[in-house]
Structure 1
């Protein structure tokens, strides 16, 4: 006789009862589908301190929070700091939210703020601009932290908004699994060739509960992926190209367009090229000829089908430091030819230009416009990595590029791009033009510590006037960002065009 272990009959009966009960009992509701986002590309990293890129910044907002935040219109709002004060020009005191926990269950407190700012000083950090200004971090108690700056720092709060808080135990090595205090917790990269990140709703989140239980983020790696996503797979598509909108059947996705604080411009290599030879746009008269040959209104109409506004400055109206006294830049082909003749180039010249594959239409219109002034563009489409390398290594005379002034302040562009390379506090860290102007450098540095708004505005506007006279960067247009949004879905677009799961909600929610 075969022995049956004690209890096995009970287990068998329980299993039978369970199976039988499943035939008669209610069938549980299936899990709701996740929110699906289609983004312009994959994140550079999952470490919030090791990137300087818009897609990454948006995606990581699903997992992380800072002491303060910039809302959709770039206004400062409290976040992990419930309030703050500025008792002196160099002392900032932050009172922290209570009852907040990280995704790993550890409580949030002042020690986490201190560790985050300490880690931001690592050589690999790309948010070190904020900590360079901080001389001392004082943990007053678990819910209070003080920051002592080296001198008055009017942009400290805006930069803290771009510094998400990490748990105090975060190692120096690059973060590969996000652990923050945000409304979603990391759930892996997901499945499929386009999936780059997933998240599930953090049930212990201290703030408003998001509508969706889970989300998936996908990257638009190619046109086929975008078409598949837009045809029924994704709930929010960013961006939503016009050619795709026209090709899809009506219904399903509605179009949402929103202005941005992004400006597209030509990066001119003012200094010598890597070969040691002078740059063909090293002469300011050639750069001014390029500027005069451009019809920005026609460029927007023909290349961008009206989904942008012409830009005469390096920031858009509404950004602090915009110079309202400057006139709109108008086309003057005859003036461009005169400048080329003065520069000893009466027959014009050929200018190599590097663009993105998506910038081909813009390059085509620019080529036609500049040719009328004797400027012949030799266009080379390259991906971002190679374009940036060409800029950084002084191999490209002209590059079509963009910059998003995510802080809402022109210094966010002036400090890295226009200050001379190798400046103090990392100023000039992204200056790939080789342009150097000691007076403009001084204005930029003074603006960094000037607390009087009128005086700061005067300094930044002086930099703008000088930059538009010398033209190391030639402004072209500010793009509108167009999204595809599924019917029944609400979405809050942002001026910095970043997209995160908390920006999306169900219409008609109670």
Structure 2
């Protein structure tokens, strides 16, 4: 069906029409299938949430168009000793409420982001102890070497201590238990845009911060206002783009990309995302929560079952038929091949082999299969629910009866964080390509200070854990590479998770829009230029 027909037949939700009806020429109107989870920048660590929050909040360091680390709220830094990092803060910076930015806000933000309700605590724990030398100088004093210190620092949004004290938001909100605080729907950062209004699930509006330090130096964008609207239906989002009621769609469906390229006034920009999409299995419990298994056992504790499920997934069929070529199947668990040093052994998939999978299931005592629920988001990853349904159909050939339980991300992530899952889809990635920020939070044994914080399948592998722990503090690059490769190989051979693919991300936009497409899939509005709409 042609897009002009879709546009006539589909009515936009009233909230979307209200959001975009009379937008000024320099208002960017964009949409995604999902919404930001919260305005609290420490409570969640999810890509769309971070992308929207970075319009308001900044870090000490930032990223350029190619994801290289550059100065942000820190003007410069040095490493006077192997375990000491010293930062000179940018002077004359103010939060959006007019409060001056100082070293006190850095120390407060570190403390706040280490609270148990913070989902960046695992990264901030690796920063050592911050010490204020003067109002514009901070030192981080480490106990052990951190070979990716700046990468960890780039996860920490800086909040105003005074604002958090005033609004009683000294700790990140407890998202998984549905806590609401002032920071849920309000924000006060130093960034290029100020939060004007927030209506979850309906509309979020930002206005340009004319006092931002970066205008005319690091950014030349001309956007004055940003209106973000979540629109769940793929066809509705694209109809709004084609009709001119939206300027940019962040996540067009892969099946529509080829046709979009031929639509007058629309352009598509795409590139690989630093993100691995995978399936994970509860390997901690002796009995699964959401399953019916002969003998009340946990089949995911058996390597043969995990391998059988892996070999029954035809990722090439997913790539060609479901993703329309916009994915790169891999056997690695790293968001980018850079993190596995482009090692062909780590990158290669164990071949799709249904006969071998059936033999493994029979050997493990599950020749007649079992029943299990697969929890899956329906508005987070590209074709997420569709992928889960396709995999469920593939596993039916092993007599594994899968119930796909798909839900919006706002419900899905709290469920996973509570570990109320037996089998689930997850994705991992962002701006960082180093393996450390995958190994420690996602794959290591669950422990203190955020180690294994995202290991929601509760995998415990002592050999892997020891190798990953050593790599975290190894300063010599070649030794560190060997440790990382050995750890990744151990994980791969145990089939602890079932990697599917790395996403290729297309953005669709009106011709007058110029935006920088980054591999972390963040829309940096300060770099967006809007020419006059026709």
**Which residue of the other structure, out of 201, 208, 219, is the alignment partner of 1:201?**
208
Which range is displaced more, 106-115 or 298-307? Answer: 106-115
Please list, as runs of the form range in 1=range in 2, the aligned pairs for 1:98-137 lying within 5 A after superposition.
98-137=91-130
- The alignment's TM-score, normalised by the length of structure 2, stands at 0.82
1:211 aligns with 2:222: yes
1:237 aligns with 2:266: no
**Which residue of the other structure, out of 60, 77, 83, is the alignment partner of 1:67?**
60
Q: What is the CA deviation profile of residues 424-473 of structure 1, one whole-angstrom value per residue up to 9, with x for unaligned ones?
A: 32211222222201121112222222222222222221121111111121
Structure-2 residue corresponding to 1:21: none
Q: Distance in 2 between matches of 1:229 and 1:275?
A: 40
Confirm or deny: 8 A CA contact 1:194 1:225 kept in the other structure.
no
Relative to 1, partners in 2 of residues 1:284 and 1:485: Cα closer, same or farther, differing over 3 Å? same
Secondary structure of the 1:187 match is strand
Confirm or deny: 8 A CA contact 1:235 1:485 kept in the other structure.
yes
Which range is displaced more, 253-262 or 336-345? Answer: 336-345
Structure-2 residue corresponding to 1:460: 484
- The alignment's TM-score, normalised by the length of structure 1, stands at 0.85
Confirm or deny: 8 A CA contact 2:79 2:86 kept in the other structure.
yes
1:334 aligns with 2:355: yes
Confirm or deny: 8 A CA contact 2:275 2:336 kept in the other structure.
no
Relative to 1, partners in 2 of residues 1:162 and 1:316: Cα closer, same or farther, differing over 3 Å? closer
Confirm or deny: 8 A CA contact 1:354 1:381 kept in the other structure.
yes
Secondary structure of the 2:198 match is coil
**Which residue of the other structure, out of 70, 80, 84, is the alignment partner of 2:73?**
80
1:481 aligns with 2:505: yes
**Which residue of the other structure, out of 266, 271, 276, is the alignment partner of 2:279?**
266
Secondary structure of the 2:301 match is coil
Secondary structure of the 1:425 match is coil
Q: Distance in 2 between matches of 1:503 and 1:185?
A: 16
Q: Distance in 2 between matches of 1:57 and 1:360?
A: 23
Q: What is the CA deviation profile of residues 330-377 of structure 1, one whole-angstrom value per residue up to 9, with x for unaligned ones?
A: 222222222122212344445542333443432343344434455454
Question: Where does the alignment leave 5 or more consecutive residues of structure 1 unmatched?
Answer: 1-29
* CA RMSD between the two structures: 2.7
1:501 aligns with 2:525: yes
Confirm or deny: 8 A CA contact 1:274 1:393 kept in the other structure.
no
Structure-2 residue corresponding to 1:18: none
Q: Distance in 2 between matches of 1:376 and 1:122?
A: 40
1:426 aligns with 2:445: no
Q: Distance in 2 between matches of 1:349 and 1:31?
A: 57
Secondary structure of the 1:216 match is strand
Relative to 1, partners in 2 of residues 1:270 and 1:409: Cα closer, same or farther, differing over 3 Å? same
1:413 aligns with 2:438: yes
Relative to 1, partners in 2 of residues 1:118 and 1:424: Cα closer, same or farther, differing over 3 Å? closer
Aligned-pair CA distance for 1:188: 1.8
Which range is displaced more, 367-376 or 118-127? Answer: 367-376
**Which residue of the other structure, out of 188, 207, 211, is the alignment partner of 1:179?**
188
Relative to 1, partners in 2 of residues 1:114 and 1:355: Cα closer, same or farther, differing over 3 Å? closer
Secondary structure of the 2:449 match is helix
How many residue pairs get aligned? The number is 476
Relative to 1, partners in 2 of residues 1:224 and 1:328: Cα closer, same or farther, differing over 3 Å? closer
Q: Distance in 2 between matches of 1:360 and 1:164?
A: 31
Confirm or deny: 8 A CA contact 1:69 1:162 kept in the other structure.
no
Confirm or deny: 8 A CA contact 1:320 1:408 kept in the other structure.
yes
Q: Distance in 2 between matches of 1:492 and 1:463?
A: 35
Which range is displaced more, 198-207 or 218-227? Answer: 218-227
**Which residue of the other structure, out of 269, 277, 294, is the alignment partner of 2:313?**
294
Relative to 1, partners in 2 of residues 1:477 and 1:75: Cα closer, same or farther, differing over 3 Å? same
Relative to 1, partners in 2 of residues 1:123 and 1:400: Cα closer, same or farther, differing over 3 Å? closer
Confirm or deny: 8 A CA contact 1:387 1:399 kept in the other structure.
no
| Larger gyration radius, structure 1 or structure 2 | 1
Relative to 1, partners in 2 of residues 1:193 and 1:151: Cα closer, same or farther, differing over 3 Å? closer
Secondary structure of the 2:161 match is coil
Q: Distance in 2 between matches of 1:198 and 1:274?
A: 41
Relative to 1, partners in 2 of residues 1:281 and 1:114: Cα closer, same or farther, differing over 3 Å? closer
Confirm or deny: 8 A CA contact 1:269 1:472 kept in the other structure.
no
Structure-2 residue corresponding to 1:256: 269
Q: Distance in 1 between matches of 2:467 and 2:43?
A: 29
1:226 aligns with 2:245: no
Relative to 1, partners in 2 of residues 1:347 and 1:46: Cα closer, same or farther, differing over 3 Å? closer
Confirm or deny: 8 A CA contact 2:369 2:398 kept in the other structure.
yes
Aligned-pair CA distance for 1:160: 1.4
Confirm or deny: 8 A CA contact 2:122 2:453 kept in the other structure.
no
Q: Distance in 2 between matches of 1:486 and 1:182?
A: 26
Q: Distance in 2 between matches of 1:377 and 1:200?
A: 46
1:355 aligns with 2:376: yes
Aligned-pair CA distance for 1:389: 5.4
Q: Distance in 2 between matches of 1:372 and 1:275?
A: 20
